[in-house]
Structure 1
Amino acid sequence: MNRENLIIGIDISKTHLDIAVGENGTLRRIEHNEPNILSLVEEFQKLQPTLIVAEATGGLERILSMNLAHGDLPIVVVNPRHVRNFTKAVGQLAKTDAIDARMLARYGAAIKPDVRPIKDESRQHLADQISRRRQITKMISQEKNRLQQALVKDVSKDIKAHITYLQKRLNAVDSQIKKTLDQSHIFKKTAALLITTPGIGIGTASTLIACCPELGSVSNKEIAALVGVAPFNRDSGFRRGPRMVWGGRATVRSQLYMATISAIRCNPAIRTFYRRLVDAGKKPKVAITACMRKMIVTLNSMVRSNTEWNAHLDESLKHSCC
């Protein structure tokens, strides 16, 4: 086996891991537990693979990917949709865990996905807190909707009590998020920088820090694609289709959307840009999406250059790298 180009594929489930060492190498299954994961780290450090490929599996991949990353191993967690489309393209229609592990190794060899930074423990902690905040906010919204339809007094009283409880929990989670930001000098500094931008609050800043660790370390085009606000062509022959955004990180994008709506009202650069697009005949949703891209590009440049927002920042960004 050529270890200079050794690609390992790992299919992850709740109870076990299927491991394919190379496209045609050994294949085995082990139980999914911490001792086995630590043993894998030691084994892979000896093998020195070029790439280790696993799929995002609803959070089941987190412990494995963090341990491999801490062992200085080239782990990349890929989008399952991409792997499945690749599998169909090469004519592999059958699906088992063993086949999936093989196809992950084959996908890594053919596509060579970039190894991106894995969230460290503190960033993952912050991401979990933000996720919990989002869940509580959703539950409060659901309960308020139910309250509008409640006709029985006892039911209405119970819903109001639950909303009060959830609001207290939301305040507690907000305090925990602030504490997590304050405990990290890097987090605190980045958050302070981001919230100098009109329209960006602590909620958006913490989401970007936790869920977009690449902010400030990649190009403006790359950050727009990562968030899912980069327009992609849809042309064929003589047809020139409308540009569409696709993919990206939904959590970051939804938070950025709300921040952009606020920025259109209070950020002079974004407001002017939005009005210019609408006056030129762009649909409001298209204009908002363009403003979202402008926002994330601005924030990326701010973090990269360690520059606070100012009224003349937009002009300076035109000369920054793309």
Structure 2
Amino acid sequence: MSCRLLFEGLRGDPVSAIFLTSQGCCAGTLCGRVVAHFFEGLHSGRNLVICSWSEDAVRGVWFTEHCITVTVGDSLCRLYPRALTATGGVPQEMAFEKKAAASVRFVLQRANNVIVLSNGVTLVSDLRDGSQRSLGWKLQDRYTAPCDWNGANLLLFSAVPDEQPSIQLLQPEQHQRLVVRDLPRRTRVVTQLKLWGDGRIVFVREGRCIVVFDYKTNLDTHVISGHRGDIVSIAFCDEHRIAAVSNDGTLKIWDITNTKSRRGVCTKTVTLRQCSFDLGWSYHMAATDSLVAFSADEGVFLVDLNGSQGTGSATQVVPAAPNNHNHRGGGWPANTR
């Protein structure tokens, strides 16, 4: 296994989003910087600065073989054609349709699925075609926070004073809101709540314990302990493996294929000697079946679980493309979808 620094971070500008596939990795920051690295094809083996600065934080990144899309703040997405990223192409923009920017409370993105939650309306968008639609449901409870969105289900965490904390699942299209998991009152810390596959929710309890909950059967299928430090980020390699990084500089891959054992099996452990997690940022991670990308205080690191083949080299940095945001449109151009 190999671990290397893919994108060097800037002091005071933490990573806010990561997207990873077998073709490459893209990351955005709180100051709006976007960097991509492709393992094969056009501009392979180089770091490309897609955008050096934006007026708001990057909330999500996603790319296809034709383009890179960046969700900036709560107002718009920008599309950068991959053929022009190294030569300074002008991005296409799509504004989110909302009543007022001041009313936006949360923006969540997973791959091509974006949801914008405001006091007045809930907006969902599919970045594959730039489509948008408003839903009748709106988030009004100040004690409930959205944690994950997969295009159909919205994962919520509710902590109303003097009530039992709970994990809730919302299906906005059907206007259904289900309490799927009550937590004991003695529970002090719950982090890293994520939707996993069909019917599972994963979260970290008390900093170091990973819980896999099947909301269709209403059972905790796995309760995984084994990290000596607090877990700062998790991601899913496939339908059976969880990648988790803890603040003691350890990456572990947990396999839950064996349904008879509730503890899971640690199949790989990587000591991250060059990584630190001391600044207290919100750290991010993405994974494939053989690659894991995660943010640390130094920047974004890439771990190849099978070796170092096919991941290129991050040595050359291409100058930033001009940050020209004058063009605004209502959807994506047909030739870049």
Indicate the TM-score class for this superposition, using the shorter chain for normalisation: under 0.3
Bigger relative contact order (CA 8 A; separation at least 6): 2
Greater helix fraction, Structure 1 or Structure 2: 1
User: What TM-score comes out, normalization by structure 2 length?
Assistant: 0.22
- State which structure, 1 or 2, has the greater radius of gyration over its C-alpha atoms: 1
Greater strand fraction, Structure 1 or Structure 2: 2
User: What TM-score comes out, normalization by structure 1 length?
Assistant: 0.23
